[in-house]
Structure 1
Amino acid sequence: MTRSSAVLHRDTHFIPKSVVGGKGSYLFLEDGTKFLDSTGGAAVACLGHGHEQIKQAMKNQIDTILYCHSAFFGTQVAEDLAQLLVDSTGGKLSKLFVVSSGSEAMEAALKLARQYFLELPSPQPQRTRFISRLPSYHGTTLGALSAGGHVLRRQAFEPLLSKNVSHVSPCYAYRGKQDGESDAQYVARLAAELDAEFQRVGPENVCAFIAEPVVGAALGCVPAVPGYFAAMKAVCSKHGALLIFDEIMCGMGRCGTLHEWEQEEVVPDILAIGKGLGGGYAPVSGVLIADHVVQTIDKGTGAFRHGQTYQGHALSCATALAVQKTVQEEGLLQNVRDMGSYFEERLRSQLGGHPYVGDIRGKALFWGLEFVKDKDTKEPFDTETRLSFLIQEKGLRPEYAISLYGCAGTADGVRGDHVILSPPYNVSKEEIDTIVDVTARVLDAVFADLGMSKE
C-alpha cells in the first residue's frame, strides 16, 4: 500500500523515510536502519544528534521564556550569544543580528549594505548594485537567489529576480587556473576581472562584492587560493564598496577555525553565519557587522530598516549559545583540524586514483568530490546521467545507509556533479574510516550500474 502525505515534500513523487531518533553521528529510521549522517544534513549537525548538554540548555530556556517581540523587549540569552560571537572576532565585528535561516541572513546583509550607503554623512543613494560569483549559492528567497549565480536554482525564477546583480568568475583552481599559471598570477587575473566589472557597471553604483570563502553547495567545498580574498578586498576598498562574506555553510568551525576568514585574516564588512551556529538543534542564523557599518547607522537614523517576527528568538539564541559553548569547552575546533587532516589523508589514499573522481578538495571537515568522465580533459558527465542524484540515492539504501550530499551544475552551472562530506565536529577516526570506506563502495556500485569499469 502506497503511503500518502499531506506534506509538500521536495519531490512530490517521493515520500522520504521518517527519522524516529538520533544519537551522535547516527540517525535511526522507521524501518530500523542505523544511518550514518556523514554530511550533518547540509553541513548543519556539527555536534551530531541528541547531545545531552544542548537538549538541557533548550529545556532550561523553555522553562524561562520563548517568544517576545524584539520591537518591545530583548532577552539575556540574545545578549550573551551576541557578546560571545563579537568576542570571537576580537571585536573586529561589533554587532550581531539574529534570524532563522541562511537565506534570511543574506537578505538582511543585502539590505544592510544598501542602507549603509544611505546613512553616510554624504549619502550615496546611487549604490544599488551587487557583484557576486558564478556559480554561487546564497539562499532561496528572491533577494538571496538574485545574489547567487547558480544557473539551475535560478532558472525557473529568472523573470522575478533582481537585475542589479552581476557575476564574475569564482576562484576555482581545478577548472579556472590556466596551465603554467601561478597562484599569484591567477589571483591577479581574477582581481582584474572584478575591477573590470566594477568599471563596467560603474564603481560608484556598487554596494558590495559577495562571496563564500569556501564555496559549498554550488561547487563542492572549493577553497580560494592564497591571497585571493586580500586582492578582492583591495578592489572593493579601491571603489568604496563593502565586502560581504557568506560563511553560512563553511563557517562556525567547519573549516577548522570558528570563522573561515580568520585563516587569511581578511575581515569582511558584513558576515552571514548559520548552519553550524546552532547545529540543527534550532533554526538560527545571523549577521555579524563591522563597527564602521554599525557606527554609520548609529550616527544616522539609528534604525536598521529591516525586521522579522522571529529575529532574536530566545530558544534559538539559547540553543546557539549552548552549541558554541560546547564547541569551546570540548575543544572541538582542534578535533575538527585533527580529524580533518585524517579525513583528507583517507579520501586521497582511497579515492585519489579513482578514474571518475576528478578532484578532491576542501578544508578540515568540509570535503567535496567532483566527478568527471575523463580526468585528463575534465569533461563532466552528461546531465541526463543525473550522477550526483544517483550517488546520493544509492547511499540512502539500507545496505549503505550513509548521507552523500549530491549537487549538480559544478562545471558550468548546469553540467558537472559533486558530493559533499561534512561530518560532525566530534567525529571519531573510526567513523571517518567508515565514511570513506562506504563512500567508495557506493561509488563502485553506481558506476557498475552505469556499466562503467573502475579500471
Structure 2
Amino acid sequence: MGSLGDTAVANGRSDSTGVSVTGSLSNTLVANSHADSTELSVNGVHSAVMHRSLHHEPLLAVSAKGHYLHLSNGQKVYDATGGAAVACLGGDNARVTKALVNQLTEGVSYCHSLFFATEAAEQLASHLIQSTNHKMARAFFTSSGSEAVEAALKMARQYHLEKNPPEPQRIHFIGRKQSYHGTTLGALGAGGHRARRAIYEPMLSDNSTFVSPCFAYRGKAWPEESDSAYVSRLEEEIEAEFQRVGPGKVAAFIAEPIVGAALGCVPSVAGYFEAVRRICNKHGALLILDEIMCGSGRVGPRPSARYPKPLHAWQDPSVGIVPDLMTMGKGLGGGFQPIAAMLANNRVVEVLSKGTGSFSHGQTYQAHPLACRAALEVQRIIQEDDLVSNVRAQGKLLGRLLQDKLSKHPHVGNIRGQGLFWGIEFVEDKETGSPFDPARNVAMEIHELGMQSPFNISLYPGTGTTDGVKGDHILIAPAYNIKAEDVHMIVETTASIINAFFGTARQGE
C-alpha cells in the first residue's frame, strides 16, 4: 500500500472531517513502533487513536517553531489559523515553557479545587477581572470552551433561582441560527448550527430556540436597507421570540460578538448588541457573550475612553455593552495548555453571594494549576508586548490585502472580519450569492490543496455558512505577533490557492 498522502490524493478528497496531504505518516510511525497492537501498520493504515476521520490518518506533527508546524514527512507548514484560532503566540514560547517548568518544580501540578486554591488560578482570575475594568467579578476555569459554555448556562439557571424573588420558570435560552457554542450536549443544544446538531437532535434540550444571526451579507435586504433598519428588524424578531416563548421563561440570550467557525468571522452591525441588551434588560433575562474564539485580543478591539487597553470583543465600541456572563478559551491559553473560562459580572455574583454563596457546579480539572499558569503567562505577554495593538495594525493590513486580491474573484462572495480574524465565503454565483452544493466539499478541498506543496499553509475550513448546511468559507486567524511580511505572504499564498483551486475546478467542469 502507498502512503497516506498518495491514497488520499488518489481518492480525490478526504471525507468531511479528514485532511489529506502528501506524505508518509504510516511509514514514519511504523519505523518507530514496537509492533504492538496499538501502532500503525503499513498493511492497512490503522491507528488506535479515534482521529477526526477513521478513513484517513492525519500527518504527524513532530514540532512547532514560531508560525510553522514541522511534519513527519519533512514538510514545513505555515499555520495561518493558529489551529482553531488558538495559538495566538505561535507554536513555541520560551517564557511560557519556563513558567510551566517552574509550576511543576516549585508549585503544584494538581490539587482538587473543592479543597484548595492555587496561586496560579488566583493570579489568572485577578488578571482577567482587571482586564474587564472590574465589570466582571469572578472567573471559573474549565478545560475547554464547551465546558465554559456549560458553566454559563448553569450559572444563568442558578442566578434566576437565587434572586429575590426566585424565578424557577426561567429555563429557556434564545440563541441564533448558524451559531456554535460547543460540542457537549448542553452547549450543542444552545447552538443553532443545523449540521452539527443533526444526529444528536433527539438528545438535545428543547429549551432553546433560535433567531436570525446579525449577518449583513446574507441577512440585509440589499441594497436599500440601512444598518439601523436592519438592526430594528432583528430587534423586532428577538422581541417576538421572547413574547412567543413567554418573557418570564427566558433565562438568557447567548451570542458570539463576532461569529467564528460557524459563519466565518462575521461581525455584528453597530447598534445590534445594544438592541439585544435592551430586550434582555426589559424582560429580566441574562446576556451571555461567547468569546471563546473571538476573544482574548483576537479581534483587536479598538480603544476608547472607557477601555483604553481593551482585550475582549465586547469592549470594542461597535459592541457597546457589558455582558452578564462571558466565556473565554482558545487564545486564553494559546494552546500551551487546555483551558477556558466563564466570567460572571457583579450583579450575578452578588445574587449568589446573598443566596447559597456557591456555584452548584464543579469538575475534576477545574482551575488546573498548570493550565492556569500557562494562561497567566500568555495573558501577561499579550499585555506587556502590547500585542492587541499589533493585532489591530496587522489585521487592518490583512483585511485590505484580502480585499485587494480576492474581492473581485468570481467565486468569492464576501470577505469580512476584524483584527486577525478574517473569513472568506465562497459562492457558486457571485451575483445571486448562491452557495456550492455541499457534496463538492469546497472549503475542505481548498484547505487540503493549501496543505500541499508548493503552498504549505494551513487554512481553517468551515461549512454551513448559508443555512447551517450549505455554504463554504475559510478562516484566517494567525498569531498575534506576526509581522507585515507574514501578512503579505499569507494573502499571496491564499490567493494563489483559491485561484488554483477554482481554475482546476472550471477546467474539470
TM-score (normalised: structure 2) = 0.88
- Residue 262 (structure 1) aligned with residue 262 (structure 2): no
- Pick from 383, 394, 399: which aligns with 2:438? 383
**1:89 — aligned with what?**
132
Counterpart of 1:450 in 2: which secondary structure?
helix
Q: Say whether 1:108 aligns with 2:151.
A: yes
Distance across 2 between alignment mates of 1:68 and 1:32: 40
Find the counterpart in structure 2 of residue 11 from structure 1: 53
Deviation per CA, 1:264-295, whole angstroms, max 9, x where unpaired? 33100000000000000000000111011001
Superposition deviation, residue 196 in structure 1: 0.3
Q: CA deviation at 1:382?
A: 0.8
What is the deviation of 1:121? 1.6
Alignment partner of 1:21 is 2:63: yes
Provide the C-alpha distance between the structure 1 equivalents of 2:444 and 2:388, rounded to a whole number of angstroms: 31
Q: Describe how 1:242-321 pairs up with structure 2 within 5 A.
A: 242-257=286-301, 258-263=311-316, 264-321=319-376
Letter in 1 for 2:394: M
Q: Give, in angstroms, the shift of residue 399 of structure 1.
A: 2.1
Q: Over alpha carbons, which structure has the higher Rg? A: 2
AA matched with 1:323: V
Q: Does residue 1:428 correspond to 2:483, yes or no?
A: yes
Q: CA deviation at 1:452?
A: 5.6
CA displacement, residues 103-146 of structure 1 (integer Å, 9 cap, x when unaligned): 00000000000000000121000000000000100000000000
Question: How many residues of Structure 1 are paired with residues of Structure 2 in the alignment?
Answer: 454
3-state SS of 1:364 partner = coil
Q: Percent identity?
A: 53
Q: What is residue 415 of structure 2 aligned with on the other side? A: 360
The alignment partner of 2:458 has SS state of coil
Alpha-carbon separation, structure 2, partners of 1:227 and 1:409: 26
Please show how residues 41-60 of structure 1 align to structure 2 within 5 Å.
41-60=83-102
| Greater relative contact order (Cα < 8 A, sep 6+) | 1
- Distance in 2 (CA, whole Å) between partners of 1:376 and 1:238 is 41
Q: Is the 8 A contact 2:125 2:139 kept in 1?
A: yes
Aligned pairs (5 A) from 1:15-414: 15-63=57-105, 64-179=107-222, 180-257=224-301, 258-263=311-316, 264-414=319-469
Q: Which amino acid aligns with 2:99?
A: A
CA distance in 1 between partners of 2:137 and 2:500 (Å): 50
**What is the CA distance between 1:58 and its match in structure 2?**
0.8
Q: Which moved more, 1:48-57 or 1:397-406?
A: 397-406
Structure 2 distance, partners of 1:4, 1:445, is 32
CA contact (8 A) 2:140 2:343 kept: yes
**Cα distance per residue 1:312-359 (max 9 Å; x no partner):** 000000000000000111111111011001111111111111110000
Structure 1: stretches of 5+ with no match in the other structure: none
In the TM superposition, structure 1's runs of 4+ consecutive aligned residues that sit over 6 Å from their partners are: none
Is contact 2:80-2:459 (8 Å) kept? yes
1:445 Cα deviation after fit: 2.1
Residue of structure 1 equivalent to 2:472: 417
Contact 2:137 2:349 (C-alpha < 8 Å) held by counterparts: yes
> 1:366-395: per-residue Cα shift (whole Å, max 9, x none)?
000000111110010111111111111111
- Report the CA distance between 1:250 and its aligned residue: 0.3
Name the Cα RMSD after superposition.
Answer: 1.1
**1:87 partner letter:** Q
- Residue type of the alignment partner of 1:43: A
2: CA distance, partners of 1:196 / 1:265: 23
Q: TM-score, normalised by structure 1?
A: 0.98
1:147-169 per-residue CA deviation (whole Å, 9 max, x = no partner) reads 00001100010000000000000
In structure 2, runs of 5+ residues without a counterpart are 1-41, 302-310
Q: Determine the C-alpha separation between the residues in 1 that align with 2:195 and 2:449.
A: 23
Between the aligned partners of 2:501 and 2:203, the Cα distance in structure 1 is 37
Q: Residue 402 of structure 1 aligns to which amino acid in structure 2?
A: I
Query: Is the Cα contact below 8 Å between 2:273 and 2:320 reproduced in 1?
Result: no
Distance (Å, rounded) in 2 between the aligned partners of 1:443 and 1:183? 31
